[in-house]
Chain A
Amino acid sequence: MEIIKIERKVLAKNDAIASEIRGKFEENGVFAINMVSSPGSGKTSLVEKIIEYFSGRVNISVIEGDVQTDLDAQRVSAYNVPVVQIITNGGCHLEANLVNDSLKNLDLVQTDLLIIENVGNLVCPAGYDLGEDMKVVVISVTEGDDKPLKYPKMFINSKVLVINKIDLLPYVNCNIEQLKQNALKINPALQVFEVSCTSGEGVGKFCDFLESSI
Chain B
Amino acid sequence: MHELSLAQNIIETVKQNVTADELTKVREVIVEVGAFSGVVADSLKFSFEAITSGTELNDAVMTIVDIPFCLKCNDCGNETSTEIPMLLCSICGSSNTQILSGDELRVKELKIAEE
Contact = CB atoms under 8 A, between A and B. Distances in A.
Range of interface residues on B (Cβ < 8 Å)? 20 to 34
Contacts, number: 96
Contacts of B13: 6, 8, 10, 12
Contact of A152 (B27, B85, B105): B85
A186 B86 contact: yes
Interface in B1-26: 1-2, 5-6, 9-10, 12-13, 17-18
24 contacts: A1-B111, A1-B112, A1-B113, A1-B114, A2-B113, A3-B109, A3-B110, A6-B17, A8-B13, A9-B105, A10-B10, A11-B105, A13-B9, A14-B9, A91-B2, A92-B1, A95-B5, A153-B38, A156-B36, A184-B88, A185-B88, A186-B86, A186-B87, A186-B88
Contacts of A1: 27-28, 111-114
Nearest to B106: A9
Contacts of A39: none
Given A1-B27, A9-B106, A124-B1, A185 B113 contact: no
Nearest to B97: A188
Interface of B: 1-2, 5-6, 9-10, 12-13, 17-18, 27-28, 31, 36-39, 84-88, 95, 103, 105-114
Contacts of B86: 152, 185-187
Interface in A106-132: 123-124, 126-127
A27 interface: no
A152 B82 CA distance: 12
